[in-house]
Amino acid sequence: MSSTDIHLHQHTAHGHAHDEHHELPWIRKYVFSEDHKIIAKQYLFTGIFWALIGGAFSLIFRLQLGFPGANLSWLKPVLHGWIDNGGKLDPDFYLALVTMHGTIMVFFVLTAGLSGTFSNFLIPLQVGARDMASGFLNMLSYWFFFISSVIMLWSLFISTGPAAGGWTVYPPLSALPQALLGSGAGMTMWLVSMALFIVALLLGGINYITTVINLRTYGMTFTRLPLTIWAFFLTAIIGLLSFPVLFSASLLLIFDRSFGTSFFLSDIWIDGAPLAHEGGSPVLFQHLFWFLGHPEVYIVLIPALGITSEIIATNSRKPIFGYKAMIVSMLAITFLSFIVWAHHMFVTGMNPFLGSIFMILTLIIAVPSAVKAFNYITTMWRGNLIFTPAMMFSIGLVSFFISGGLTGIVLGNSAADIQLHDTYFVVAHFHLVMGSASFFGMLAGVYHWFPKMFGRMMDEKLGYVHFWCTFVGIYFVFFPLHYIGLAGFPRRYYQFTNFDAFQTFGDLNMFVSIAAIFTFAAQMLFLFNFFWSIFKGRVAPANPWRSNTLEWTTPLHPEHGNWPGEIPHVYRWPYDYSKPGAAEDFIPQHIPYSQTPSSNLPGEKDPD
Amino acid sequence: MSQSLEIGIAVVLILAILVLIFRIQALVSVMRGSYRKRAGLSNKVNAILFVVFALVGFGTFFWFSFGTEYHLPVSSSEHGIHTDFMFWLTMAILVIAFVITHIFMISFIYKYQFDENRKAYFYPENHKLEFVWTIIPAIVMVVLVYYGYRTWNDIFKMAPADRMEIEVMGQQFNWLVRYPGADGKLGSHSYKKISPDNQFGLILEDQTGWDDFAPREIHIPKGKPVLLRIRARDVLHSVYLPHFRVKMDAVPGMPTTFWFTPIQTTAEKREELGNPNFNFELACAELCGRGHFSMRYILVVDEPENYKKWVAEQKAWAEVNREYVVKTIKPEYKDKLPEIKVATPDAPTVAPADTTTPKATALNIK
Ligand code: HEM
Ligand SMILES: [Cu+2]
Ligand SMILES: [Cu+2]
């Protein structure tokens, strides 16, 4: 502890000197900024931008699925040649939309947009640090993400269209331009973009980890870290261990595509000619992809769970139930997330013995997940619940986490998965547990930390309307997809009219599409509220939610360096809400025990 | 044009009105100072809405789940009966968990709304409780794993010796199907031999392939185990027989297999569903490109006698393509070419020691 201590003081002194001497030029302050708070906002704005594009794409393909054969010529001004003269959407472009939708949502919105925003914003503020361990690397991280975004965006406009082989980009389809229109230049851009994205993510992740380990303020032990920080910390570790595997897979795929190697290709005859590739295995790619891909769903989910823990505790005015159990479950999930990947591959032809092993490991992960859900609910028991918009979205998250997580248990069962794999049942499952839950975590985080980000409050009433429209809308969209999946409908189908078996459910598909349009439209309420409040919102009080964590001890508009004076010290865990004997229903972390004699439990005293 | 102008104006007006309402609402709340209260009327409204949502939601869920016919008809394969049972058993447990957790959550939301005069109960942990609810899901998981493991191993155990075999090959964007013919052996093949005339890439010199036949529909006899030998020649595909609960990827360079036993003929299924036009269908379940959604093939389950009759009507592939075969086959084999025979149904359906068909399958049917 003492060595950290010295380091911290040095850092503080340095921070002061730095701040006093020179005012930074505008471009260094707001564009190429090294301030974690600015970088967080850059991630947030970019994430919102991508969410709109990804969401809009889902609407276009939902139109195709809900109203097959409808005349879509009115989209011609936007989509040009991808709508034919009869007003029909091009099947290649349908696949491109699905692929880009998945890629954008998973990587750009819920990885960069969520972790990038909240890890950046909250880690220094909540552990009591002036900034990230390396502001420069942090800046670099955002700009790598930015370039990656530009490339992906650009790929939407090239004549052969963007990558279209699904967000999982399985070769040989993604490797052979002659197999799919999107596997030409679009796929090359996808791979380059993802490689840069991974660099961005690793630079960010290294920073998050270093900051949490080294820059905690005096007294901020690991067992006093808010669960948000635990979540971001573990997420960064998962990312650090799993993303390089996707990097290698992408690299090998680039080799197969451009340099004639055969890592993933073998025995292929296409376009009137056999290919020279021999000895590769497409299944190998799937192993590599899912070695990242499954941890990735937790990279997306765990930060949202961390945010929810914080918000539910604060707004229940109660300590989070089972703080240690929450940490242990997150640790367990982190570990297990690395050894379940092949549950995505039960019917790929891999050895069935592997199938049974991965079924067992997958079902184990249900246990820590269940513990987390129980703990959220118990936190609300006998609480004093304040339904702020952030709290509402957190409750929504718990609901999605349960309804979507449960169906994972049946999908993890390899025998049942034979039928369910690659049907809409899977689409329903992962949209609830990963898509919607994480999306709600992100929205909850924005509503909760908006006052700290912009010094103003968002409008509550509008927040409620936004919540109810979105919550109901999402269940309307994704719950019916379970039934469609049980009826056997395969995913990534341009239309279902070719099969007798998939003739039913035209009406339900239409309903889903209408609900999707409604849900998307409801997000405009959020956008309006967000941008309006940045400029016109009511000025926020210092600690609007009466929260215990350190970020609320900073000034309303914290400068680079966060605290004008010394960094506050920490004396207690972050969940002293409604402590018996205390005057208020919260005791922030920086209040020493010596100031709260009436509420101290046996053994609680300040260190000498 | 003028119509879209009108729509545009209407939209702008509606938006303006909405913004106005929003502003008035915000100003009123500032005047009333209601934001200074820790929790106002909205808190109560939201709590009630959660209850309403739960009631309506559960109502719709149960009404739709039990009131409508939405899932696939009863499985027409033997193992499908088991996987379906397991699915519904698991589902029953999941629905119970879903309902119970939500009832708890929603009732807490309603019951513990903010009250200025009450203090929340400081309750950071309870090891006994935590232990119990770790153990209960763990036990449930053990049971599910046990059933799942047994069912899975049953499905993937070695195919019975009295099985018949069919080759199913995926290509962009249709299926090609090949039967081993009278000798019960599929002729060997190589992707390098593929040509427009030789879609399977048959090695013509391999005599076991001379009686193979390639029908336009798959026919299988009821009650007999069928082993599908699955391959792909361009990209990934996936053999998906929804009514038989069968799915297995077709992988270029890595032959796969799946075996199942049909327990219902097409005619019986038609009767069961009251639909004289019903057909079993083979679909593709792995994205394979532009035409992925259109890879349809018909599968017919016959009574064994009818199946024999059907087989007897099939012409061998080499006979149908005799001209090509004669032209292409190595000269020294040309004389050996018999009058390529029509398949005879009485021959053994599977050869004892199978050496010519692809061995490198990752699915160990050993
Ligand atoms: C407006 C909300 C959304 C709607 C209506 C929607 C709808 C859909 C549908 C219907 C599909 C399946 C298409 C198919 O397989 O043919 C799909 C695919 C997908 N969605 Fe969404 N989605 C939404 C939001 C999200 C979010 C928030 C995520 C974040 C995780 C997400 C992630 C994905 C992924 C990963 C795929 C798979 C893409 C692929 O198959 O390659 N979606 N979406
Ligand atoms: Cu997974
Ligand atoms: Cu396909």
- With beta carbons less than 8 A apart as the criterion, state whether A154 and A188 touch: no
pLDDT band per the 50, 70, 90 thresholds, residue B338: low
Q: Six-digit token pair at A69?
A: 């054969």
Q: Residue B150: is its pLDDT beyond 60? A: yes
Provide the number of CB pairs (under 8 Å) joining chain A to chain B.
342
Angle between helices A36-66 and A437-454 (to 10 degrees): 140
- Cα–Cα dist A480/A424, whole Å: 9
CA A234 to each of CA A239, A269, B300: distance values in angstroms, whole numbers, following the listed order: 9, 45, 53
**Which of B19, B35, B38, B46 is the mutation pick for testing A, counting most A CBs within 10 A?**
B46
**Nearest by CB: B86 against A173, A385, A415:** A415
Give the Å distance between the CA of B63 and the centre of ligand 1. Answer: 27
Give the H/E segment covering residue B58: helix B41-67
- Cα–Cα dist B94/B85, whole Å: 14
Contacts of A285 (CB under 8 A, 6+ apart): A170, A171, A249, A252, A253, A263, A264
Chain A closest CA to B168's CA: distance in Å?
A: 14
pLDDT band per the 50, 70, 90 thresholds, residue B360: very low
* CA-angle at B8, arms to B2 and B14, nearest 5°: 140
Q: Six-digit token pair at A402?
A: 């349960």
At B365 the pLDDT is 32
Q: Residue B22: is its pLDDT beyond 50? A: yes
- A322 with B130: Cβ contact below 8 A: yes
Residue A514, burial from CB neighbour count under 10 angstroms (0-12, 13-18, 19+) = middle
Q: Residue B186: is its pLDDT beyond 80? A: yes
What are phi and psi for residue A409, nearest 5 degrees? -65, -35
CA B39 to each of CA A315, A386, B44: distance values in angstroms, whole numbers, following the listed order: 11, 6, 9
Average pLDDT, chain B: 87
Give the Å distance between the CA of A396 and the centre of ligand 1. Answer: 19
Give the total residue count for chain A.
Answer: 608
Q: Which residues pair with A338 in a beta bridge?
A: none
Residue A440, burial from CB neighbour count under 10 angstroms (0-12, 13-18, 19+) = buried
Sort out which chain A residues have CB atoms less than 8 A from B253's CB and list them: 265-268, 278-282
At B1 the pLDDT is 52
Give the Å distance between the CA of B238 and the centre of ligand 3. Answer: 6
- Burial of A181-192, coded b for 16+ CB within 10 Å and e otherwise, reads bbbbbbbbbbbb
Chain A closest CA to B117's CA: distance in Å?
A: 10
Q: Residue B82: is its pLDDT beyond 60? A: yes
Angle between helices B2-32 and A460-486 (to 10 degrees): 120
Residues with CB under 5 A from ligand 2 (ion): A 294
- Cα–Cα dist A307/A396, whole Å: 13
- A398 with B105: Cβ contact below 8 A: yes
- B47 with A268: Cβ contact below 8 A: no
- With beta carbons less than 8 A apart as the criterion, state whether A172 and A253 touch: no
Report whether residue A36 contacts ligand 1, using a CB cutoff of 6 Å.
no
Residue bearing the CA closest to ligand 1, atom 22: A58
- Cα–Cα dist A164/B270, whole Å: 38
What are phi and psi for residue B281, nearest 5 degrees? -125, 145
Contacts of B363 (CB under 8 A, 6+ apart): A349, A351, A352, B156, B256, B257, B258
Range B60-65 contact pairs with CB under 8 angstroms and sequence separation of 24 or more: B61/A479, B64/A483
- With beta carbons less than 8 A apart as the criterion, state whether A160 and A183 touch: no
**Nearest by CB: B249 against A349, A356, A380:** A349
**Nearest by CB: A366 against B26, B124, B141:** B141
Report whether residue A252 contacts ligand 1, using a CB cutoff of 6 Å.
no
Please name which ligand lies nearest the alpha carbon of A493.
1
Four-residue CA torsion sign, A509, A510, A514, A515: negative
* Cα atoms found within 13 Å of the Cα of residue B244, Cβ hemisphere only: 31
At B166 the pLDDT is 96
Residue A156, burial from CB neighbour count under 10 angstroms (0-12, 13-18, 19+) = middle
Q: What DSSP string runs through A195-208? A: HHHHHHHHHHHHHH
A519 Cα nearest atom in ligand 1: 1
At A20 the pLDDT is 46
Report whether residue A166 contacts ligand 1, using a CB cutoff of 6 Å.
yes
The identity of residue A13, as a single letter, is A
At B2 the pLDDT is 64
Percentages helix, strand, coil for chain A (3-state, rounded to 5) are: 65, 0, 30
Residue bearing the CA closest to ligand 1, atom 41: A166
Torsional class of A373: left (φ above 0), alpha (ψ -120 to 50), beta (otherwise): alpha
- B64 with A483: Cβ contact below 8 A: yes
Q: For residue A270, give the 3-state DSSP assignment.
A: strand
**Which of A324, A353, A380, A598 is the mutation pick for testing B, counting most B CBs within 10 A?**
A380
Q: Residue B71: is its pLDDT beyond 90? A: no
A105 Cα nearest atom in ligand 1: 29
Report whether residue A169 contacts ligand 1, using a CB cutoff of 6 Å.
no
**Nearest by CB: B242 against A359, A492, A501:** A501
Contacts of B251 (CB under 8 A, 6+ apart): A282, A283, A348, A349, B231, B232, B236
Report whether residue A491 contacts ligand 1, using a CB cutoff of 6 Å.
yes
Q: For residue A458, give the 3-state DSSP assignment.
A: coil
- Cα–Cα dist A91/A162, whole Å: 13
Q: Minimal CA–CA distance to A123: which of A7, A216, A254?
A: A216
Give the Å distance between the CA of B18 and the centre of ligand 3. Answer: 47
At A398 the pLDDT is 97
- Burial of B129-155, coded b for 16+ CB within 10 Å and e otherwise, reads bbeebbeebeebbeebbebbbebbeeb
B199 vs A: CB within 8 A: no
Give the Å distance between the CA of A296 and the centre of ligand 2. Answer: 8
- Cα–Cα dist B52/B54, whole Å: 5
At B77 the pLDDT is 95
Q: Six-digit token pair at A384?
A: 């004093």
**In percent, how much of chain B has pLDDT > 70?**
91
- Cα–Cα dist A279/B46, whole Å: 61
- Cα–Cα dist A72/A79, whole Å: 10
- With beta carbons less than 8 A apart as the criterion, state whether A500 and B281 touch: yes
- Cα–Cα dist B8/B165, whole Å: 64
Give the residue, out of A67, A101, A169, with the most ligand 1 atoms within 8 A of its beta carbon, to mutate for a pocket test.
A101
- The residues of chain A scoring below 70 in pLDDT are 1-22
- Cα–Cα dist A524/A537, whole Å: 17
Sort out which chain A residues have CB atoms less than 8 A from B203's CB and list them: none
The identity of residue B154, as a single letter, is D
A491 Cα nearest atom in ligand 1: 15
Please name which ligand lies nearest the alpha carbon of A166.
1
At A22 the pLDDT is 62
CA B357 to each of CA A352, B217, B254: distance values in angstroms, whole numbers, following the listed order: 21, 22, 13
Give the Å distance between the CA of A373 and the centre of ligand 2. Answer: 19
